[in-house]
Structure 1
Amino acid sequence: MGAAPVSISAVGTSVVDPEIGAAGDVDTAVVTLSYADGRIAVIRNSRRALYGYDQRLELLGSEGLLQAQNVLENTLIKSSASGVTSAKPTYFFLERYMPAYAAEWAAFVNAVNTGSALPVTLDDGVAALAMAEAATQSAKNGSPVKLVEVLG
């Protein structure tokens, strides 16, 4: 989005697994990130997708839609009179993200060997943690939280 959000609103509940709720956490949540220029981003999350590790991205704008779909177990699609079926998303996040972990490691090793900057900065990590903290606070108090309040 080119900048951090100004405020974050979140709601969460524990309806999938009561043990998660008993531990004081949520298993289903919706987070809305609001930006200074009026743009918004919405994150929907659930800890359970029985069919695999479901993670998709959509970017809807005035000039169209971009989508990144799930990584599937295979690329086979069956189309017949009874419908269209395809493989499930990969089951576990470690399977899905192994290429990303390898790329992160390669970028780190390259930065160490060449003295170049890392593609992800300390500020990126701090911003991610601050947004997570703002979402947690918002879910607990039922009100939007300004990011500057979390960053101090």
Structure 2
Amino acid sequence: MTARPDPGAVTGPALRSVLRRWATGVALVTATAQGRPTGCTASSFTSISLSPPLVLVSLDRGSRTLAAITGAGAFGINLLGRHHRDLAERFATAPADRRFDGVGHRLVREVPVVDGAMAALVCRLERTVAAADHLLVLGQPVWCDQRGTADPLVHFGSHYQCLAVGTPSG
């Protein structure tokens, strides 16, 4: 008897299809490398603990931003609002050395914080954990700020979407 493939087997494309049905917030992960700001778009950011404060972001092992974080020992999380769709796209697709061109930002504890971000954290690198082709980056927030009440930018169905805050659900 020949074994048949499991029709419900989880392949990379199948998992990607399922994950398209999960809405996530959009953030820019930032760091400083050789005195220059660097960063990337991420939707894999979450809180791990409030006591002590601890957050996590997952980055591809080949990411220049990851290399900057491990080199500097610090990183930023910039939460994006609906008005940041172009910025999210730019940090996801533009060459790494061009992403900050013309982007307003300031350094907080030597970490780039993007002007106009809905909220931002600066974190001390706590540790990294290997997970397949990514590293889970655990950070302890050492600074935070929240600037506005803009509707958040979310990623859903392989597209950037806007979530209207204050809209009651069913």
Question: Normalised by the shorter chain, which TM-score bucket?
Answer: under 0.3
Task: Identify the structure with the greater helix proportion.
Answer: 1
Q: TM-score normalised to the size of structure 1?
A: 0.26
Q: Kindly indicate which of the two structures has a greater share of residues assigned to strand.
A: 2
Bigger radius of gyration? 1
